[in-house]
Amino acid sequence: MRGTLVEKIIREHLVEGTLEPGSEIAIRVDQTLTQDATGTMAYLQFEAIGLDRVKTELSVSYIDHNTLQVGFENADDHLYLAGVARKHGIHLSRAGNGICHQVHLERFARPGRTLVGSDSHTPTAGGVGSLAIGVGGLDVAAAMAGSPLYLTAPRVRRVELVGELPPWVAAKDVILELLRRLTVSGGVGWAMEYGGPGVATLTVPQRATIANMGAELGATTSIFPSDERTREWLRAQDREEQWIALEADQDAEYEDRIVLDLGQVEPLVAQPHMPDRVVPVREIAGIDIDQVAIGSCTNSSYVDLMTAAAMVRGKTIPPGVSFVVAPGSRQVLAAITRNGGLADLIDAGARILETACGPCLGVGQAPRSGAVTVRSFNRNFEGRSGTLDAGVYLASVETCVASALIGKLTDPRDLGTPPSIALPNAFRVDDSMIVPAAHPAKRDRAVEIIRGPNIKPLPLAEPPADEMDVEVLIALGDNITTDDILPAGAKLLPLRSNVPAYAEHVFGRIDPSFPARAQAAGAGCIVGGANYGQGSSREHAAIVPMYLGVRAVLAESFARIHRSNLINFGILPLVAEPEALKTLPQGTKLHLSGVHAAIDAPGGGDVRVTTEAGEALTARLSLTAREAKVLRAGGLLNSLRER
Ligand code: MIC
Ligand code: SF4
């Protein structure tokens, strides 16, 4: 079979459709992952589908996001997740074992396999040549129940890597460079496929850093070939037998090509409040900083943390800077503990957190008001750190630590010779914090699944009416994130299993009056701009507005995962011209008609939108035949149950 790497893996997994970019295909799902903040909902949905055991080759449930237990809620969720895992044949990575993407890369991701995860950074596994895709929880539930994954066949963009990274320049700078060139919507509809002679110069964790932040480009997936470096990684993880060689054919055809000379990349930084506001560190070096944080699923590798340790060895972080380290996995934390790296970090004054997502999504370490914080993470959306007026800068570990040491944003090249840290030939493999899925024959049907009082029943969507009167509840600009729609953070994450309580916080950072107005209106719609719903996979950003009566979102364009989530929960994703959208301010009363005909028309049709003043516009509802069925049924859960 000839073609791109993406085509090869898709062809091998194709169960419906033809592989033409832009058309809907269905692929067999080998592996799934969930995390606790999206997982509770996903497993409630899996339970509602009513199957005994997952049908995938491997499914893993991670507890990594919602680990700050200031009340009973999160611990109750963890207990629920443990019960479901035991009952339904799912591995459970316990709290303390690490961030799903880092641990999956270490222990489970395999070249050539498909992986679907209820987290937008699932493509991290593309670092070992998995075709890994982030989706909403319900799509993962469906995949665990044996459904293929339906997706728009991506266009494939080749990123030709040549040359070698200069000293002090990191994989993080490579993906920041791509964000600078392509922006946060530049990957929508695309698979980013890396190739070229530069690939061999990058280790698997470096590749994973690049693949991870393909999510910030809006890409469907990012993938690297599986080569000798991949084999070394799998060998170091004691699973060399899982290695296969995998690469694109020489004559593979790509819809787009980018050449990136690694030798020309320099230390870069994304400024507040968008991951594509990228400039060279040199350009803005010298700004005072208050906090530096290392970790997250983007930069938690052994080499990342050892680089940080080596840079601070024998030094003290200056008094004005809080230096936070959240190691991404137990494997890495244990390794740097044994070799003394952790002691170097502690001696320098680092504040060590547990192995979890932590400050990346505002769970702890919110900086002071008005702070400048430099983080090795992947998202810097306004308010996500937990402090609304803090400015978050995203950079490599090297830039972060150089800045922490100087107390000002610093180009690491100013520090002289970089430390030289090699990837170990073998990690100490210890999976004792992963409760393995019970063997099918030994499955314990009597497992009691304990649901704490915060775990509320799932709200079900209703089929859209043919005609509806809706009020514009909010009118927004471009690139609205799911963090804008429904914030995460330590205070709100415990409400992930409790939709009625979470509903009080929809658009909470932008307009706290939204929930009350939505409820008063009875039925509403949201007006957005381009790339509406970018960022996370959290389907709560669809479910909870649905619960508040949101029936449609009118926007210029949608982010991939959020659009699917809207359809999965019976909300119409309507596309309209930006000029037309500008005529629909908050409070406008709209009449939508012709909804059923638009759903039923092959490929979708136009919905007529009329204002009270009698002005009319059309909004396009583009749907595949399958999506039309889902919407008609009032969401994916209803549609799966009908089947
Ligand atoms: C994120 O980084 O925004 C999250 C938190 O990991 C989300 C998932 C969630 O909201 O639970 C994601 O990336 O999908
Ligand atoms: Fe966790 Fe942050 Fe990665 Fe999301 S982006 S999975 S919150 S570390």
Q: What is the per-residue pLDDT for 445?
A: 73
- Which mutation among 536, 540, 565 tests ligand 1's pocket best, with the greatest number of atoms within 8 A of CB? 536
- Which mutation among 38, 68, 102, 119 tests ligand 2's pocket best, with the greatest number of atoms within 8 A of CB? 119
Ligand 1 atom with the shortest distance to the CA of 384: 3
Give residue-wise pLDDT tens across range 35-55.
Answer: 999 999 999 999 999 999 999
Domain identity same for 197 and 293: no
Beta carbons of 112 and 246 less than 8 angstroms apart? yes
Report residue 306 as tokens. Answer: 């050892």
- For residue 385, how far is its CA from the centre of ligand 1 (angstroms)? 13
Domain identity same for 291 and 407: yes
Domain identity same for 584 and 494: yes
The model carries a pTM of: 0.98
Ligand 2 atom with the shortest distance to the CA of 65: 1
Range of the domain at 131: 5-264
Give residue-wise pLDDT tens across range 315-374.
Answer: 999 999 999 999 999 999 999 999 999 999 999 999 999 999 999 999 999 999 999 999
Strands 550-555, 572-575: pairing is parallel
* Average pLDDT of the residues in 204-224: 98
Domain identity same for 130 and 59: yes
- For residue 162, how far is its CA from the centre of ligand 1 (angstroms)? 32
Number of H helices, E strands in the chain: 22, 27
Tell me the torsion sign for CA atoms 212, 218, 220, 226.
negative
Q: What is the per-residue pLDDT for 442?
A: 75
How many residues does the structure list for the chain?
Answer: 643
Question: 230, 264, 298 — which closes off a domain?
Answer: 264
Ligand 1 atom with the shortest distance to the CA of 134: 14
* Average pLDDT of the residues in 157-173: 98
pLDDT exceeds 90 at position 268: yes
In a domain, 425, yes or no: no
Q: What is the per-residue pLDDT for 58?
A: 98
Tally of structural domains, the chain? 3
Q: Note the ligand closest to the C-alpha atom of 119.
A: 1
511 — phi, psi (to 5°)?
-155, 95
The set of protein residues with a Cβ atom below 6 angstroms from ligand 2 is 65, 99, 119, 121, 296-297, 357, 360-361, 378
Give residue-wise pLDDT tens across range 304-313.
Answer: 999 999 999 9
Domain identity same for 172 and 100: yes
Q: Kindly report the average pLDDT of the chain as a whole number.
A: 97
- Give the Å distances, CA to CA, from 500 to 96, 289, 459, 489, 546: 29, 39, 9, 18, 11
Q: What is the per-residue pLDDT for 340?
A: 98
What percent of the chain has a predicted confidence (pLDDT) above 90? Answer: 96
Beta carbons of 590 and 469 less than 8 angstroms apart? yes
Q: Note the ligand closest to the C-alpha atom of 359.
A: 2
- For residue 68, how far is its CA from the centre of ligand 2 (angstroms)? 14
* Average pLDDT of the residues in 633-642: 90
Radius of gyration of the chain (CA): 23
Ligand 1 atom with the shortest distance to the CA of 379: 2
Domain identity same for 252 and 288: no
The helix/strand/coil state of 286 is coil
- For residue 584, how far is its CA from the centre of ligand 2 (angstroms)? 35
pLDDT exceeds 60 at position 472: yes
Q: What is the per-residue pLDDT for 389?
A: 97
Beta carbons of 229 and 133 less than 8 angstroms apart? no
Helix or strand run (H / E) with residue 552: strand 550-555
In a domain, 157, yes or no: yes
Q: What is the per-residue pLDDT for 460?
A: 87
Q: What is the per-residue pLDDT for 331?
A: 98
In a domain, 426, yes or no: no
Q: Note the ligand closest to the C-alpha atom of 536.
A: 1
Ligand 1 atom with the shortest distance to the CA of 540: 10
Beta carbons of 525 and 471 less than 8 angstroms apart? yes
**For helices 540-547 and 560-568, angle between their N-to-C axes, nearest 10 degrees:** 40
Domain identity same for 322 and 252: no
Give residue-wise pLDDT tens across range 177-195.
Answer: 999 999 999 999 999 999 9
- For residue 616, how far is its CA from the centre of ligand 1 (angstroms)? 38
Give residue-wise pLDDT tens across range 419-469.
Answer: 999 999 999 999 999 999 988 777 677 889 999 999 999 898 899 999 999
Domain identity same for 142 and 29: yes
- For residue 559, how far is its CA from the centre of ligand 1 (angstroms)? 14
- For residue 354, how far is its CA from the centre of ligand 2 (angstroms)? 14
Ligand 2 atom with the shortest distance to the CA of 378: 5
Write the DSSP string, 400-445.
Answer: HHHHHHHTB---GGGGSSPP--PPPSS-----TTEEPPPPGGG--T
pLDDT exceeds 70 at position 278: yes
Ligand 2 atom with the shortest distance to the CA of 119: 6
- Which mutation among 361, 480, 505 tests ligand 1's pocket best, with the greatest number of atoms within 8 A of CB? 361
In a domain, 455, yes or no: no
- For residue 630, how far is its CA from the centre of ligand 1 (angstroms)? 24
Domain identity same for 384 and 248: no
CATH of residue 28 = 3.30.499.10
Question: 219, 236, 264 — which closes off a domain?
Answer: 264
Domain identity same for 232 and 290: no
Nearest CA to ligand 1 atom 9: 538
Ligand 2 atom with the shortest distance to the CA of 300: 8
**pLDDT class for 629, splitting at 50, 70, 90?**
very high
- Cα diameter, the chain: 72
Domain identity same for 239 and 324: no
- For residue 85, how far is its CA from the centre of ligand 2 (angstroms)? 22
- For residue 491, how far is its CA from the centre of ligand 2 (angstroms)? 17
Cα separation, 377 vs 389, whole angstroms: 18
Nearest CA to ligand 1 atom 12: 536
In a domain, 617, yes or no: yes
In a domain, 115, yes or no: yes
Q: What is the per-residue pLDDT for 441?
A: 77
Write the DSSP string, 324-384.
Answer: EEE-SBHHHHHHHHHTTHHHHHHHHT-EEPPSS-GGGGTSS-PPPTT-EEEESSS---TTT
pLDDT exceeds 60 at position 96: yes
Cα separation, 140 vs 117, whole angstroms: 6
CATH of residue 514 = 3.20.19.10
Domain identity same for 245 and 389: no
In a domain, 448, yes or no: no
Q: In what order do the strands lie in the sheet with 14-16?
A: 14-16, 24-27, 149-152
In a domain, 248, yes or no: yes
The set of protein residues with a Cβ atom below 6 angstroms from ligand 1 is 37-38, 65, 119-121, 361, 379, 488, 535-538
Give residue-wise pLDDT tens across range 117-135.
Answer: 999 999 999 999 999 999 9
Question: 216, 232, 264 — which closes off a domain?
Answer: 264
